[in-house]
Amino acid sequence: MEYQFRPLGKVCAATGRPLEPGEDCLSALVERDGVVSRLDFSLAGWTGPPPGTIGVWRCQTPAAMEVNAARVDPELLLQLFEQLVETANPAHDRRLYVLALYLLQRRRLRLEGTRDDEDEVGGPMLELTGSRGEGPYLIRDQQLPEEEIRNAQAELNRQLSEHLLAADAA
């Protein structure tokens, strides 16, 4: 039998206390009246499997600085992208490229093509347009190795996390 259930909750099912980032906890899959649901417990709130338990496992809440990519607003990403395009600062080319990859993945940008600018040093350019007609945008194809893209995405995630945490606090 295959079960579909929600991801880790934010509070302990027994105490109502928020589960802290990085905290060890226990999750139980419980069947009640034919409905299967997930209950999450802090270690202090765990008194044993609740009635109707199908399974129990130990897990850890995500660290505070992790960004849920689905939570990041593509419009916010596009605004940042447009700001970086307008500044035309070569120091931002790698960040701009990684941001373009994010927006392509989220279908907020479309790749219209590539072109080689033989007059310019630096290699091919990506021709991008916004899914709502924005652009066109020309950015340098950085042709980064996969590991460097992952590192740049991790740095961008860190920056976006700080921005989201500051926005949530406001």
Using the 3D structure, point to which of 9, 30, 64 is the last residue of a domain.
64
Average pLDDT over residues 8-37: 90
Q: Max alpha carbon distance in the chain (Å)?
A: 72
Pairing of strands 124-130, 137-140: antiparallel
In this structure, the answer to whether residues 54 and 79 fall within a common structural domain is no
In this structure, the answer to whether residues 82 and 46 fall within a common structural domain is no
CA-CA distance, 60 to 19, in Å (whole number)?
9
In this structure, the answer to whether residues 154 and 133 fall within a common structural domain is yes
pLDDT over 70 for what percent of the chain?
82
Q: Could you tell me the residue range of the domain that residue 12 belongs to?
A: 1-64
In this structure, the answer to whether residues 11 and 44 fall within a common structural domain is yes
In this structure, the answer to whether residues 50 and 118 fall within a common structural domain is no
Average pLDDT over residues 103-125: 79
State pLDDT tens for residues 144-166. 788 887 777 777 777 776 666 55
In this structure, the answer to whether residues 128 and 151 fall within a common structural domain is yes
Using the 3D structure, point to which of 11, 42, 64 is the last residue of a domain.
64
In this structure, the answer to whether residues 89 and 157 fall within a common structural domain is yes
CA-CA distance, 98 to 136, in Å (whole number)?
17
State pLDDT tens for residues 43-97. 999 999 999 999 999 998 876 544 454 456 788 888 888 988 888 788 888 888 8
In this structure, the answer to whether residues 84 and 165 fall within a common structural domain is yes
Using the 3D structure, point to which of 64, 81, 98 is the last residue of a domain.
64
Q: How many folded domains does the chain comprise? A: 2
In this structure, the answer to whether residues 10 and 41 fall within a common structural domain is yes
In this structure, the answer to whether residues 73 and 57 fall within a common structural domain is no
Phi and psi at residue 126, to the nearest 5°: -95, 135
